[in-house]
Amino acid sequence: MNPAAAHPIQFTDRERASLAKLVDYTAIRSLPEIWPIASQRFPDVVALQDPHNKPALSLTYAQLHQQIQQFAAGLQSLGVTVGDRLSLFADNSPRWLIADQGTMTAGAANAVRGSLADRDELLFILANSGSKALIIENLATFSKISDRFQDLPLQFVVLLSDESVPEMDGLKLLNFPQLMELGATFPLQPASQTEEMLATLLYTSGTTGKPKGVMLTHGNLLHQVKTFGTVLQPEPGDRVLSILPTWHCYERTVEYFMLSQGCTQIYTSIRYIKQDLKQFKPSFMIGVPRLWESIYEGVQKQLREQPANKQKQVNFFLNLSQRYITARRIVQGFSLETPHPSPLKRLTATLQATALEPLHALADRLIYQKVRAAATGGELKQVISGGGSLAKHLDTFYEIIGVEVLVGYGLTETSPVTNVRRVHHNVRGSSGLPMPGTQVRIIDLETRKPLPQGQKGLVTVRGPQVMPGYYQNPEATAKAIDPEGWFDTGDLGYITHQNDLVITGRAKDTIVLTNGENIEPQPIEDACLRSPYIDQIMLVGQDQKFIGALIVPNLEALQKWQEAEKSGPSDSTTVDLASKPIQDLFRRELDREVKNRPGYRPDDRILVFRLLPEPFSQDNGMMTQTLKIRRPVVTERYQGMIIGMFA
């Protein structure tokens, strides 16, 4: 067990006061214990609402608890016992939560993934987890992988749909109503579970192409449920619009917390998000930077469609408000750009903020209230943003229009939240203060020794939310967690004088896009190196919409291609890397090699690239002694070029 988890969590007076307003779950030791408490406190409050289901579906907390128990009893009637593992491959719906918590109520742990994941990935998870049963979205997903079931120890499969099930040789196949019917007549056997027991397996992508199974215990996940009240204080009936994959650790744990407090969760999708924001007017939202960027772009599009005089007025007020919030940050001590203002600087900022505040308030009445209503429904209390850092201009925009964005930080391996901004301490540009019971330490990349406050290095964390390890992978576990329980995040950052974490980049290879997708660059780079014209390549795109590449071309191969194109030897030995024919050649090469790669996904496509005249080498510090590209060094060297690529 993680040694940090053995110590009780210490709360500040402010945190204790926040938690005192909420339903207390301190005494529970497993996630299923949430539902009887919630059903007693909020029996008639709507827990789950799916307006886009055919027909629309709504469940109260009393109904949700009853269906979770019935699902669990159905699983037990088929032989599921404490400690078993089941795979759950399905997407956002009330039935997902019923299946998830029904599995845990029966005493089992689940291995989760979305139904649209790659076939080989789903089969790997099934085999690696040792699942004795599979709960799956529908017959289409079942058909995608069922031809390989003979090699697996599966005893039965449950569809979450109502589709009629075909006869299967040696494998029991049921649909959702059939399982619930079994559960209605089978007495549920209480499953004794502790915080140390496995609750779920979440598989993350790896550089070798084989995912690693992150083991999260009930205690890991309950840390988030028991402490997130220090960040948000929802009230029964508050509406939460859910758009992220519900099996994803970030969405999942915040959902558990919000539901534990009697909120109403409403399922939406990219297709319906704009109309649902206006119709349901959510109180809270959980999202990734790409979502907030999309809302921002929608506002900008509407602004561009306004008459010129209206555009001029809005831009005037936006510029004025930006000056106001910049001054206000300095006054509040929340400015990363001016962390230690001189007395004169603070006085100047105070005078400026005081002078501009009435004009900002006027702009709010004239413009920003309408923007909030049109873009978000107008009743948002706070939004939580994770899955990547939020661009500076988005942070500023939402602060100006009065939408409180609380950016958080964490990984699947940390359940996931280790840091998050607070309403009373919202330092824009940062990832906020540590969660209660969480320690954050910055260490030197080479010496692994702790660095002082303000100095950039590798971010490591320790706390009750840190996983015990990777499933059946002690070697990877030992690399990730040291003997003292410190988890290596692979991210670079520093800690401010107020204890806020600021992420500055990645030490590890994984690229996180603004839609929350993780891209492992090595397999894609390896595929691109098959091109005779590419000598070296490094993918970039952290916190961007898509990935790009820095490419060192093979000049000799390009010279030969150039001669072939001209049908004979060229008088010139130079190659114009900026010429259209060369650029078009690399566009074709990248598209072909990436698309031909096994397991290709649309997010893998390289949309922008730059050709470099200088190779990565040990001499210029861009390669290690073992000839691996030093990604942080290359990123820093070509920072301006990378920014220009995505501008």
> What is the reported pLDDT for 468?
98
pLDDT tens across 54-63, in order? 899 999 999 9
Tokens standing for 319?
């510029």
> What is the reported pLDDT for 207?
39
The average pLDDT across 602-626 equals 89
**β-pairing, 198-204 with 212-217?**
antiparallel
What single DSSP character describes residue 243?
Answer: -
Kindly give, in sequence order, each residue whose CB lies less than 8 Å from that of residue 42, ignoring residues fewer than 6 positions away.
Answer: 60, 61, 236, 262
Least confident of 58-67, 114-123, 131-140, 479-488: 114-123
Matching CATH number, 31-193+235-279, of 3.30.365.10, 3.40.50.2300, 3.40.50.12780, 3.40.50.300: 3.40.50.12780
The whole-angstrom separation of Cα 95 and Cα 240 is 17
Domain ranges of the chain: 31-193+235-279, 512-645
Report helix angle 94-105 to 61-77, nearest 10. Answer: 50
The whole-angstrom separation of Cα 202 and Cα 134 is 15
Model confidence at 568, pLDDT cuts 50, 70, 90, reads low
The average pLDDT across 234-243 equals 97
Pick the more confident residue, 134 or 446: 134
- Helix residue ranges, H only, 167-307: 176-185, 218-227, 249-260, 273-280, 289-304
| E strands in 524-570 | 534-540, 547-553
Q: Cis peptide before 468, with omega less than 30 degrees from 0?
A: no
Class level of CATH domain 512-645:
alpha beta
pLDDT above 80 (res 208)? no
The average pLDDT across 249-275 equals 96
The average pLDDT across 575-579 equals 92
- Mean pLDDT over all residues of the chain? 93
pLDDT tens across 381-396, in order? 999 999 888 888 899 9
| E strands in 92-247 | 109-113, 133-136, 156-159, 172-174, 198-204, 212-217, 239-242
pLDDT above 90 (res 8)? no
DSSP letters for 477-528: HHHHB-TT--EEEEEEEEE-TTS-EEEEEESSS-EE-TTS-EE-HHHHHHHH
Model confidence at 205, pLDDT cuts 50, 70, 90, reads low
pLDDT above 80 (res 3)? no
Q: Are 521 and 538 in contact (CB under 8 A)?
A: yes
pLDDT tens across 290-344, in order? 899 889 989 998 988 899 999 999 999 999 999 999 999 999 999 999 999 999 9
pTM here is 0.86
The whole-angstrom separation of Cα 148 and Cα 185 is 33
Q: What percent of the chain stands above pLDDT 70? A: 97
**Nearest by Cα to 635 from 493, 509, 490, 446:** 509
The whole-angstrom separation of Cα 264 and Cα 267 is 10
Strand arrangement, sheet containing 417-420: 57-60, 46-50, 264-267, 239-242, 284-287, 382-385, 405-410, 417-420, 433-434
The whole-angstrom separation of Cα 519 and Cα 474 is 24
The whole-angstrom separation of Cα 151 and Cα 484 is 40
> What is the reported pLDDT for 519?
85
Tokens standing for 231?
């960040």
DSSP 3-state of 48: strand
> What is the reported pLDDT for 598?
76
pLDDT tens across 505-561, in order? 877 788 889 988 878 888 899 889 989 899 999 999 999 999 999 999 999 889 989
pLDDT above 50 (res 473)? yes
Q: What percent of the chain stands above pLDDT 90? A: 82
